């Protein structure tokens, strides 16, 4: 069964359970599409949904899908109400007005992403991937191939310089790495899957982007990325010293038919329930309602714009 049917049936079942169990036909269930369990997307989506339900009275159901490309299409058709995807993925998904009903709520946290290798390998920077087996394609997460190309470009590498291993998503990238089918895997810091891989293979190392000059080439491939600083710590698995990592915004979005007051309440509830969200997904420490308003070309939901106006939140420039 495809993701569209699976999501629809899961949401229908949950809605029926609310109606039968709660004795009311007026209860509204909001679908929150996510990536697969083990991904940072699923963890943060679950944290947000829990707070929306418990603190905001919005009965929100998380449903896993194959990846962000699927989620954008599902929300764009109104088959789910909310989801999060990275800025490059949204850029691809909305190109040529492909999803005219999609509306932004705003960036919730940053995805510090890149490539891991085994700790016992001799690879230390992206440049060391020349001739190696690199996971590629990402058919269910279409923006990840351009992001991969951009990260390779920081080291003056292209697809011709590596041996592509086709995968549909980052979970498969990690699984193929563990199985020995690839020499690296791609993921974002903070995901449970990264820790799982770290334990399974006996240690990993995150590949460094040495400095900023290569970003000029990267921006020609994917304009949404920028570099940020990380240092060894509990979240930054495989980071052996302070370094620069490739960073993109992960954006919460909805569709035009979701009422303005619901979107307004989503933002207010997330702001009030930040501590509860962080307890489940520590990377949500980055979240603030003030950080939601950025100068992306993607259209924002009127409910979000009203919140920004009421709270005097000015639009911030992209980094």
**pLDDT tier at 16, thresholds 50, 70, 90:** very low
Superfamily per CATH, domain 111-248: Periplasmic binding protein-like II (3.40.190.10)
Contact 213, 165 (CB under 8 A): no
Going from the C-alpha of 267 to that of each of 46, 55, 107, 122, 251, the distances in angstroms are 16, 12, 11, 46, 13
pLDDT at 123: 98
Q: In 132-204, which ranges are continuous DSSP H helix?
A: 144-153, 170-179, 192-201
Total-model pTM: 0.78
Contact 60, 110 (CB under 8 A): no
Scored b (16 or more CB within 10 A) or e, 142-151 reads bbbbbbbbbb
The torsion defined by the Cα of 160, 166, 170 and 171, in degrees rounded to 10, comes to: -150
**pLDDT tier at 5, thresholds 50, 70, 90:** very low
Q: Where does the chain hold its CATH 3.40.190.10 domain(s)? A: 3-110+249-310, 111-248
The stretch 109-121 carries a mean pLDDT of: 96
- Residue range 3-110+249-310, CATH number: 3.40.190.10
Q: In terms of Cα–Cα distance, which of 291, 216, 304 is closest to 253?
A: 304
- Per residue in 226-248, pLDDT tens? 899 999 998 899 999 999 999 99
Q: 84 pairs with which residues across the strands?
A: 252
User: For residue 85, is pLDDT > 70?
Assistant: yes
Q: In terms of Cα–Cα distance, which of 28, 81, 95 is closest to 57?
A: 28
């Amino acid at each position: 069964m495809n993701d569209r049917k699976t999501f629809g049936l899961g949401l229908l079942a949950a809605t029926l359970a609310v109606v039968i169990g709660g004795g009311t036909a007026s209860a509204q269930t909001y679908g929150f599409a996510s990536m697969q369990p083990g991904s940072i997307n699923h963890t943060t989506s679950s944290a947000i949904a829990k707070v929306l339900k418990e603190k905001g009275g919005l009965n929100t159901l998380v449903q896993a899908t194959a990846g962000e490309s699927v989620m954008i299409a599902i929300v764009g058709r109104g088959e789910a109400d909310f989801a999060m995807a990275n800025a490059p993925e949204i850029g691809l998904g909305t190109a040529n007005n492909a999803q005219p009903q999609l509306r932004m709520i705003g960036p919730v946290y940053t995805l510090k992403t890149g490539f891991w290798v085994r700790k016992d390998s001799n690879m230390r920077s992206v440049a060391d991937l020349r001739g190696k087996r690199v996971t590629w394609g990402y058919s269910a997460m279409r923006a990840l191939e351009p992001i991969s190309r951009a990260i390779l470009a920081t080291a003056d590498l292209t697809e011709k310089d590596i041996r592509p291993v086709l995968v549909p998503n980052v979970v498969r990238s990690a699984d193929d790495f563990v199985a020995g089918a690839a020499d690296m895997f791609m993921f974002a810091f903070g995901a449970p899957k990264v820790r799982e891989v770290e334990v399974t293979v006996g240690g990993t190392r995150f590949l460094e982007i040495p400095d900023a000059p290569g970003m000029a080439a990267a921006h020609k491939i994917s304009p949404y990325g920028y570099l940020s600083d990380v240092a060894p710590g509990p979240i930054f698995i495989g980071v052996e010293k302070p370094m620069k990592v490739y960073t993109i915004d992960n954006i919460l979005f909805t569709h035009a038919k979701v009422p303005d007051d619901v979107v307004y309440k989503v933002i207010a509830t997330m702001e009030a329930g930040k501590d509860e969200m962080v307890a489940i997904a520590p990377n949500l420490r980055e979240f603030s309602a003030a950080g939601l308003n950025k100068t992306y070309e993607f259209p924002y939901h009127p409910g979000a714009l009203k919140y920004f106006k009421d709270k005097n939140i000015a639009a911030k420039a992209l980094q």
